[in-house]
Amino acid sequence: MRLSEALEIFYLSMDGVVSPATIKFYENRLPSLIKHLGDKEISEVSLPSVSIIMRQLTPII
């Protein structure tokens, strides 16, 4: 399964569980993972690589 497919499943699984605003937030932020990592197979994505990207995308308050 590719990262893009996993994100779509994740968004669908959140429907009715979290607010529509939260889903929209995820839909706006999480595609950055694909932009930075490429649309890799899930098995090729490592936690350290995701952690680095998430730190770069998180605004400093």
Structurally, how many domains does the chain consist of? 1
Calculate helix-pair angle for 20-29, 3-14, nearest 10 degrees. 170
Which pLDDT tens digits describe the chain residue by residue (61 residues)? 999 999 999 999 999 999 999 999 999 988 988 998 999 999 999 999 888 888 887 766 6
pTM to 2 decimal places: 0.74
pLDDT score for 32: 86
Residue span of the structural domain in which 45 resides: 3-57
